Amino acid sequence: MSTVFIPSVLRSNVGGVKSLELDGDSIRDVVGALIEQHPSLGTQLLTDDGDLNRFVNVYVNGQDVRYLSGLDTPVAPADEVRLLPAMAGG
């Protein structure tokens, strides 16, 4: 199980929790499991083609998956996955 941290702007989609424990060997699997549990996150995270939206960064153990293998980036148990959209407030 890896820990997926949900940014506060998306927490209303997951019942207000800060993080979830999810199964999956890759980012694709983990994100898929997340959307299966919380379908309203689907359009927030993925494009119609099933790619990651450009405006949500996904980090595995502090590294941006765009510079790893994107959705195919492997995820090991105990890895920390973090979803992070840009913030506007100043």
Among 1, 9, 21, 69, binds another protein (CB under 8 A): 9
Cβ contact 47:35 at 8 Å:
no
- The contact mask relative to another protein for 28-67 (x = CB under 8 A, - = no) is ----------------x--------xxxxx-x--xxx-xx
Q: Smallest gap, in angstroms, from Cβ of residue 85 to another protein? A: 4
Q: Which amino acid is at 68?
A: L
Q: Is 17 in the site for another protein (CB under 8 A)?
A: no
Torsion angles phi and psi, residue 64, rounded to 5: -70, 125
Q: Smallest gap, in angstroms, from Cβ of residue 7 to another protein? A: 8
Cβ contact 58:35 at 8 Å:
no
